[in-house]
Chain A
Amino acid sequence: MSSQNLVYVGIDLGTTNSTAAVFDGDKVTLVRNAQGSPITPSVVRIDARGNLSVGARARRFLESDPDNTRGEFKRLMGTAQALRFPASGAEKRPEELAAEVLRSLRKDIEDQLGFVPARAVISVPALFELPQSSATSEAARLAGFERVELLQEPIASALAAGWTIVDSSGSWLVYDLGGGTFDVSLLETRDGLLRVVGHDGDNFLGGRDFDWAIVDWALGEIERAEAVKLSRSDSAHAATIRRIKLAAEEAKIELSRVEQTSMAIAGLKVGDRSFDLDLALDRATLERLCSPAIERSLAVCRRLLAAHGVPDGGLTRVVMVGGPSVMPVVRRYVSAALGVPPTEGLDPMTLVAQGAAIYAATAGLEARPAALEPLRGCKLWLQYPAMSSDLTPHVVGRLVDRGASGSAVATELRLTRADGLWDSPWISLDEEGAFVAAVSLLARRPNVFRVEGKNATGGAVVIDPPTLTIVQGLTISDPPLSRTIGVATAGDDVRVYFERGAPLPARRTFTLQTVETVAKGSKESLIKIPIVQGEYDAAHLCRLVGALEISGAELRQTMPSGTELELTIELDRGGRMSARALVPGSGQVFEHVAHLLVPEAAPEVLDAQLVAIRGRLGELRTDAFRRGLAGVIDKLGKVEAALVDLALDVGAAKGGDADAAQKARRSLIELDATLESVELDRRWPELEKEAREAVVYATIVIHEHGLAHEQSLFAETARAVEKARMGRDPLELQRQLRLLNRLAYAAGSRDPEVWKRRFEHAAVDIGNTTDPAKAQTLVKEGREALARGDGEALRRVVQKLWQLSPGDPEQRRLGYDSGVR
């Protein structure tokens, strides 16, 4: 194996366009398609004869035959929305369409390299949710890839930029404005290691919003000039609006180079009327139309910088990625807002694919399929970083056949760099047949090492593999999780499994308890374990990304309420999730039951939610005006402005636009969370009072009953409570109060008097338990324990009584009908 043979493949599977790149350990090369372009439109067409075309050939039909030509399906990844091609009668899921694009890129790579790549890295937006990532992996599998890893797009951009720029140390911001998504990431480079400090973004902000802003402006102009009212919510106008949108997109791109252009379309039809469109559009108008969307992106940047304490002027560089980021207006706004000009000389259209290819080297994901060569020589199992920022990394190895002996078995090894300027001493294998050696690398290039062996008598032994290659350069630490993942409980709380920023891969197991009895054999009874993603304490404010369901029909024995379940959630490096539930009582295991689908967004439901959110906004605004809370009024004003866009999306959803429906669904959750934070703001005086009381109570309880470690944790938490109170951060204060209450609860539980009070409280409510007869027996047992002063028995009774509590039905509904606590 030599460095020339190493090939790593990276693919940017974009909303609008896709790109592939290959990295040979030294330089990155873009893969050109049959048309000679490195950029392949993410468009698929199936004609009446069932012929399928991808890329530029398909894109040509986007205007003339939109029903049978599909683009922007990336935005529907992870949903159950199948897309129809009426001419052929075909129906394809979004991941099947993405697989066609990947298959086309794979063919281009084969044409360029002479072999079909088996492994690759595919980039995904940093804020992709689990179902979307899972659908991307599925697309790669359908396209024939043996193994893929997913990489967050901003990390890919930063890696590519870091590989190009010699002095890359400092804090970076990657501003990635794609066709349909906006990601911003704060990164830090030190000692050649790239670390992701934080992410933020908007899953539904992109160049497409500029296009729609132009379309809405054009519709206004048409109404004025032609007295024709076109509506995005009217499915009869969909074809005409699609044509206007294509013209808007072209005009937008054109205005990156010229000061003025025109949107001209002949023969637009609305009902029986036909007219020609000819609108002049200049940069100033474009800027006015796009500035709200750009401002939205900048607000996200500022939020990210503030969250990580980066002061004004604290950034070393800004890397701009994505087609819309070439627009002069976007670059100007970003430069002015962040105080540092965007780094020049990087291609925003292909940077992500380049970074993905470099990352494939970091992950040791060689593209070439593994050759099935017969064993020759003494076989070694080696572990080393395929790419390292360290100049002296370790190589670890072990004999595959440790039991073997004789002259063909090595007892000593030596590593020699191919340039002959460095070699290791002879290293003796230990009793496990293993060795650990530090090697010396030349900076920013592939380093090939020969592996030589000697047997016990000093004779030469052929080693398999005979060489290993380590590329020295900027590397990325384990990719961090972009959003916190947990299980929604029946109390509308979240049991956190993985915090945002946790390194991947990761696995965690927690014990949960069922809320109600599930009868063996009953198809009707079901335990639902909702898995959510988001940063809020309340489950309903987080997004549902999967649900694990255990039906009575699958059970070997009935599970009474309060049964313990061990739920394990596992995430791989690309953020793909698998879940496994074990019922220790019966030993039954439920696997692969997480249904990873983005929830449906029915237009009627969206409409009802829109009405509800308007009502809530109205109440909060009236209250804010009455109290004269300027900050709150300002915040609500932003929600109101967002509601205008939301209403447009709900309208488009009614017209059959599934993408708009998904956008509306997410916007509704986000606006709901904003209103929740306003309500928390409004509740601030109460919250502060609650905090004071909680600290006083916890101080007494922990002082009297707390163990040493509880006291030190209490001191830490009390400081955090004070910090949140001083910083007037209601979300953080609420979070710290929960911790404080948990500590006080744990310490208080050592006081026998507390258990007496808890028992009396639980005994009052036995009529509402899931099993009143059992509850009655428990109360009797509790009274007996009280009478004989058996505190331990009383504690057990109270805990069993709690397990019989059904919880608040409203909270349970909010917690996505969770059947666990």
Chain B
Amino acid sequence: MSAGPADPQRRLADNPFYVLGLRPECGRLDVEREGQKLLGMLELGLKSAASYMTPLGPQPRSADKVRAAMAELRSPDRRLLHEFWALLPPKPEPPRPQPPPKPEHDLEPFAGAFAAHGWKRP
């Protein structure tokens, strides 16, 4: 018996590494740890676990998907295949921001000021 060939878009969107929020370099233990954490968060209905990023944009995450992803990455042969598909960074290239308007005065803060205060610049 056999299943049909999967749609490549789906294959990319459902890549186990993206589902678990991991990169292909991660260890086997990371898969278990992250999977178990996500399953717990999904069980509690936490918003932060409800979706994950892929090169095709955010995708909904479910407990079924997490369990399937963990199972795929436990098998060394199958993991290899997914490693290839997960080489793309999970976040899509953000649209190039418009150049900021020229400041009307010279009080531009120094480059590292925001980071030094714990802010992330867009």
Instruction: Indicate if the CB atoms of B5 and A384 lie closer than 8 Å.
Output: no
What residues on B are CB-neighbors of A534 within 8 Å? 1
Instruction: Indicate if the CB atoms of B74 and A195 lie closer than 8 Å.
Output: yes
A434: interface (CB < 8 Å): yes
Interface of A is mostly: mixed
Instruction: Indicate if the CB atoms of A390 and B33 lie closer than 8 Å.
Output: yes
What residues on A are CB-neighbors of B67 within 8 Å? 478, 503, 505-506
What residues on A are CB-neighbors of B40 within 8 Å? 383-384, 394-396, 436
A712: interface (CB < 8 Å): yes
Instruction: Indicate if the CB atoms of B1 and A191 lie closer than 8 Å.
Output: no
Question: How does the 8 Å CB contact mask read for B16-60 relative to A, with 1 for contact and 0 for none?
Answer: 000000000000110011001101110111111000000000000
Q: Which of B88-113 contact A (CB under 8 A)?
A: none
Given A190-B28, A393-B33, A398-B44; A742-B68 close (CB under 8 Å): no
What residues on B are CB-neighbors of A507 within 8 Å? 64
Most buried by B among A384, A434, A537: A434
Q: Which of B1, B9, B44, B64 contacts A434 (CB 8 A)?
A: B44
Nearest CB in chain A to that of B29: its residue: A191
Question: How does the 8 Å CB contact mask read for A501-529 relative to B, with 1 for contact and 0 for none?
Answer: 11101110000000000000000000000
A535: interface (CB < 8 Å): yes
A713: interface (CB < 8 Å): yes
Instruction: Indicate if the CB atoms of A436 and B37 lie closer than 8 Å.
Output: yes
What residues on B are CB-neighbors of A190 within 8 Å? 28
Nearest CB in chain A to that of B33: its residue: A390
Q: Which of B7, B28, B37 contacts A396 (CB 8 A)?
A: B37
Given A381-B44, A384-B40; A496-B68 close (CB under 8 Å): no
Instruction: Indicate if the CB atoms of B3 and A478 lie closer than 8 Å.
Output: no
Q: Which of B1, B4, B46, B71 contacts A502 (CB 8 A)?
A: B71
Instruction: Indicate if the CB atoms of B1 and A542 lie closer than 8 Å.
Output: yes
Question: How does the 8 Å CB contact mask read for A11-46 relative to B, with 1 for contact and 0 for none?
Answer: 000000000000000000000000000000000000
Q: Which of B1, B5, B36 contacts A486 (CB 8 A)?
A: B1
Q: Which of A193, A396, A484, A742 contacts B5 (CB 8 A)?
A: A742
Nearest CB in chain A to that of B62: its residue: A507
Q: Which of B9, B36, B45 contacts A385 (CB 8 A)?
A: B36
Given A496-B2, A713-B5, A738-B2; A436-B41 close (CB under 8 Å): yes
Q: Which of A116-140 contact B (CB under 8 A)?
A: none
* Cα distance, A506 to B44, chains bound together (Å): 19
Instruction: Indicate if the CB atoms of A390 and B2 lie closer than 8 Å.
Output: no
B122: interface (CB < 8 Å): no
A388: interface (CB < 8 Å): yes
What residues on A are CB-neighbors of B1 within 8 Å? 484, 486, 494, 496, 499, 534-537, 542
B70: interface (CB < 8 Å): yes
B8: interface (CB < 8 Å): yes
Instruction: Indicate if the CB atoms of B5 and A743 lie closer than 8 Å.
Output: yes
What residues on A are CB-neighbors of B75 within 8 Å? 195
* Cα distance, A709 to B32, chains bound together (Å): 31
Q: How far is the CB of B108 from chain A (nearest CB, A)?
A: 33
Nearest CB in chain B to that of A384: its residue: B40
Given A191-B29, A390-B32, A503-B71; A735-B8 close (CB under 8 Å): no
Per the CB 8 Å criterion, the residue count for chain A at the interface is 51
Q: Which of A381, A397, A499, A536 contacts B3 (CB 8 A)?
A: A499
Instruction: Indicate if the CB atoms of B37 and A392 lie closer than 8 Å.
Output: no
What residues on B are CB-neighbors of A195 within 8 Å? 74-75
A717: interface (CB < 8 Å): yes
Q: How far is the CB of A40 from chain B (nearest CB, A)?
A: 35
What residues on A are CB-neighbors of B68 within 8 Å? 502-503, 506
* Cα distance, A506 to B65, chains bound together (Å): 9
Instruction: Indicate if the CB atoms of A390 and B29 lie closer than 8 Å.
Output: yes
Most buried by B among A430, A436, A535: A436
Instruction: Indicate if the CB atoms of A432 and B46 lie closer than 8 Å.
Output: yes
A480: interface (CB < 8 Å): yes
* Cα distance, A486 to B2, chains bound together (Å): 10
What residues on B are CB-neighbors of A713 within 8 Å? 5, 8
Instruction: Indicate if the CB atoms of B8 and A712 lie closer than 8 Å.
Output: yes
Q: How far is the CB of A254 from chain B (nearest CB, A)?
A: 45
* Cα distance, A281 to B90, chains bound together (Å): 70
A477: interface (CB < 8 Å): yes
What residues on B are CB-neighbors of A480 within 8 Å? 71
What residues on B are CB-neighbors of A142 within 8 Å? none
* Cα distance, A398 to B40, chains bound together (Å): 10
* Cα distance, A168 to B28, chains bound together (Å): 17
What residues on A are CB-neighbors of B43 within 8 Å? 383, 396
Nearest CB in chain A to that of B4: its residue: A742
* Cα distance, A438 to B32, chains bound together (Å): 13
Q: How far is the CB of B62 from chain A (nearest CB, A)?
A: 10
Given A193-B28, A477-B74, A709-B8; A394-B44 close (CB under 8 Å): no
Given A389-B32, A478-B71, A506-B64; A383-B5 close (CB under 8 Å): no
What residues on A are CB-neighbors of B32 within 8 Å? 191, 193, 389-390, 477
What residues on B are CB-neighbors of A392 within 8 Å? 33
Nearest CB in chain B to that of A507: its residue: B64
Most buried by B among A478, A505, A507, A537: A478
* Cα distance, A383 to B7, chains bound together (Å): 34
Q: How far is the CB of A394 from chain B (nearest CB, A)?
A: 4
Instruction: Indicate if the CB atoms of A503 and B70 lie closer than 8 Å.
Output: yes
Instruction: Indicate if the CB atoms of A396 and B2 lie closer than 8 Å.
Output: no
A739: interface (CB < 8 Å): yes
Nearest CB in chain A to that of B47: its residue: A432
What residues on A are CB-neighbors of B33 within 8 Å? 390, 392-394, 438
What residues on B are CB-neighbors of A393 within 8 Å? 33, 36
> Beyond the given A191-B32, A507-B64, could you list 7 further A-B residue pairs with CB under 8 A, ordered by the A residue number?
A393-B36, A398-B44, A430-B48, A432-B48, A478-B67, A499-B3, A503-B67
Which residues from chain B sit less than 8 Å from chain A, CB to CB? 1-5, 7-9, 28-29, 32-33, 36-37, 39-41, 43-48, 64, 67-68, 70-71, 74-75
Which residues from chain A sit less than 8 Å from chain B, CB to CB? 190-191, 193, 195, 381, 383-385, 388-390, 392-398, 430, 432, 434, 436, 438, 477-478, 480, 484, 486, 494, 496, 499, 501-503, 505-507, 534-537, 542, 709, 712-713, 717, 735, 738-739, 742-743
Among all A-B residue pairs, the 10 with the closest Cβ atoms: A383-B40, A396-B40, A709-B8, A503-B71, A394-B37, A398-B44, A494-B1, A496-B3, A735-B2, A496-B1
A-B contact pairs, 28 of them (CB 8 A): A190-B28, A191-B28, A195-B74, A195-B75, A390-B29, A394-B33, A394-B40, A396-B37, A396-B43, A397-B44, A398-B45, A430-B48, A434-B44, A436-B40, A438-B33, A477-B71, A477-B74, A478-B67, A480-B71, A496-B3, A503-B67, A503-B70, A505-B64, A506-B64, A537-B2, A713-B8, A742-B4, A742-B5
